[in-house]
Every structure is written in structure tokens, then in C-alpha cells.
Amino acid sequence: MVSESGAAITPDYTEFLQELSRWYIETIVPSTVTHKWGRDWCSIENLAQDQVIIRIGRGSRIDTYRGLHVRTDEDSQSDYTYGTSIQLRSEKVDGFIADLVERYPYREFEPEESFSVVELRGSVAVEERGDVQSVDITADDVSQWASDQLVSALMDTKAESDMPRLREMILIAEDTGFSVEESERLAPWLLSFAQRYRDSSDPEDEAAVWSAIRTGASMLRPQAANLLFPLLEPGHSIETSLVTVKMLGRIFEAQPPARVDEYQGLANEVYQMADFLLNRYAITSSQNAAMGQLAIYALAAMASSEIHGIVKSVQRLDIAWFTQQTLRELRELGNIWANRSVAVAKQPRKLLDETIQMLVHH
């Protein structure tokens, strides 16, 4: 291996980088992770399309290396399918790199390699995969579990004692197919988790909360959609409300109501949200605008007659881009309904068409 400048790298240094890369590609780490030992540090940064930059800092000196990931465990989904393993493995990252540093001390680095860019591509040979066992994650790999095993583990009363593990399981559940019976048990638990952790001060909980809402809500039949009520309560993170109202729209988009105002309680809650957001001050925020549009979509999908009042509010706002985008999304809902194998009931469809016409003629 040579640097871009053509200078040879000392064998030990090469071996260190190879091993670091080889390990790195075996697992998933956050987009950028930094590990510190006193004044020294090593950062690994993911780039697009499987590229990686490794920077090693020793005092004022920084060495930069650029390489390409060549993940090696093709039989296991665990290394790349689920980013949820990130937190679980962070401690192993530290331990592994510390071990490497001990074995390949920095004092062997050649000063002339500072700021060199080394192409690691090709040096991470696939045939070496059998030797790479530094982080054995497959034995306890949640992503390989059967759905019933995952349900049991998630709903275990002791699950919350290991939050990194729990967060990982929640994210994996989003890509797992569950039976109807399992979904009926799991959905309330996932939504309850989201409710309990939506105000968590730990930023690592955020992704799990959003995923729990998406997965839990996606399992619901319309009759059970009121399980989302608590997650619509104001006074909590706006992102949580945004995900919830988005999923409400998706529940009814896929499972349209049989008649208008069939879900009035839920519609009232969403109406209040939309009504609060549809003013010129609130809409200035793109997040509020997004949530307002999602609330309109949900009202239309659940065939609430409140939609007409809300559309009048949109007309009064007279913000062209907002109206156009709302119209576009309602037309998309119309297309989704039109392409269903089972026709949507006449009255909900009529209400949607009327709503679209109101916006068209604005």
C-alpha cells in the first residue's frame, strides 16, 4: 500500500490500517465516531457509497486516510441491515481500537505520512474474512430472531434495563413481519414505549421512539387507531406529534373508512392540531407547515367532515405553495384509493373529491 504521494508506508502502519478497516467494515458505526486516548484520537467517518475516512490525531499532527468499505459477512444481515446496532456496539468500538493501538503503537508511524491520503481499496481482501472475528455479533444477533422471539424479548419486563438492546430491538421490529396475533400484542406495547420515552433527555431514544410509533401505528386497524390519542397530546416533542399524525393518515389511506365521520373522536383531535397550525405565523416554520399538511391529509383519509372547515382555513391563509402542496398530496391520496383492489366507500371518496375541488377552485 502506498500513499497518494507514492511514499511507502511502514509495514506496521499498513497492518494497523488494514485491520482497522477490516474491523470497521464488519459492523455499523455512527456516521462519525471519535475515540480518544488522552491527547490522541481516531475518528472514523462514513461517506457516501461505502467510502470511509479515518483520521488519527497525535497532538498537533493529523493523519488522514481514505478508503472504501468492503463489508465481509455477506451471510449475516447484522452488519448492515440494521443501523440499530450502533449503540450496542459502541463500547466494542472503543475496546477494539484501544487494543489495536496497543498492538500497533503510534510511535512507529512515519512523520512524512502526515496528511497523506491512502487508498485502502484492495487492501481489505475478502478472502481474509475468515480471520476477522474481532467483534462476534452474530451469536446474539437480534436481526436473526423469529418474530415471536422478538415480541417476547421486547415485552419482557426486564427489557428496559438494557436500553441499547431495547432500542435495537425496536428498530429491527420495523423490518420484521409479525402475525396478526403478534401485532395485536406488540402494537400497544410499542405505542406505550413511545409515550413513556417521547420526553427522554437521552437523544439516543429519539430514533427508537419514532420507529416505535411508525411500527406500532402501522399494525393498527382503524378501530384501534385511538391508541394514538396520547401521542397527539400537545406539550411534548413536536417530532413525536408529527410522526403520529403522519401515521394516522397512513392508517386510513390503506384502510379507508366505510362512512364519513366514522372516527369523530380522533378527527376532533387532529382538527385541533390543524386549526392551531393553520395561521401565517405558525406556517412560517417548515416543521409546522409539514405537520399542518399531514393533519389535513389525516383528516381527509379518515373522511372527517371537519376537512371542509380546515380547507377554508387553508384558503384564508392564501399561501400558494402550501395550498398547491396540500392539493398535490390529496390527489395522491385519491390515486392510492383509486388503485385499491377493494373500492373505497362512496361517501368518503365523495368527500375527498369535494375537498380537492375546493382547493382547485381557490
* Sites of contact with other proteins (CB under 8 A): 28, 30-31, 46-50, 66, 68-72, 74-75, 77, 80-84, 86, 119, 121, 126, 171, 174-175, 177-180, 183, 206-207, 210, 214-215, 217-221, 239, 242-243, 246-247, 250-251, 253-255, 286-287, 289-291, 293-294, 320-322, 324-325, 328
How is residue 239 written as a grid cell? 417530532
Q: Least distance from C-beta 71 to other proteins, angstroms?
A: 6
Residue among 273, 159, 266, 150 nearest 215 (CA) = 150
Inter-axis angle of helices 306-317 and 346-360, to 10 degrees? 10
Angstrom distance (rounded) from CA 29 to CA 12:
25
Give Cβ neighbours of residue 18 (< 8 Å, ≥ 6 apart): 1, 120, 123, 124
Angstrom distance (rounded) from CA 360 to CA 328:
10
Q: Least distance from C-beta 211 to other proteins, angstroms?
A: 8
Nearer to other proteins, 109 or 124 (CB): 124
Residue 116, Cβ neighbours under 10 Å: how many?
18
DSSP-H helix ranges across 159-263: 163-173, 180-197, 205-218, 229-232, 238-254
Nearer to other proteins, 109 or 300 (CB): 300
Q: Least distance from C-beta 344 to other proteins, angstroms?
A: 13
How is residue 8 written as a grid cell? 511507502
Angstrom distance (rounded) from CA 149 to CA 145:
6
Nearer to other proteins, 40 or 329 (CB): 329
DSSP letter string over 30-69? -SEEEEEETTEEEEEEE-GGGEEEEEEEETTEEEEEEEE-
Q: Least distance from C-beta 82 to other proteins, angstroms?
A: 6
Q: Least distance from C-beta 61 to other proteins, angstroms?
A: 22
Q: Least distance from C-beta 12 to other proteins, angstroms?
A: 26
> b vs e for 53-79, b when ≥16 Cβ sit within 10 Å of the residue's Cβ?
ebbbbbeeeebbbbbbbbbbbeebebb
Nearer to other proteins, 104 or 169 (CB): 169
Nearer to other proteins, 37 or 145 (CB): 145
Nearer to other proteins, 251 or 267 (CB): 251
Instruction: Provide the 3-class DSSP secondary structure of residue 6.
Output: coil
Nearer to other proteins, 220 or 270 (CB): 220
Nearer to other proteins, 109 or 344 (CB): 344
Nearer to other proteins, 165 or 250 (CB): 250
Round the CA-based radius of gyration of the chain to a whole number and report it: 26
Residue among 25, 77, 73, 12 nearest 52 (CA) = 25
How is residue 59 written as a grid cell? 497532538
Q: Least distance from C-beta 223 to other proteins, angstroms?
A: 12
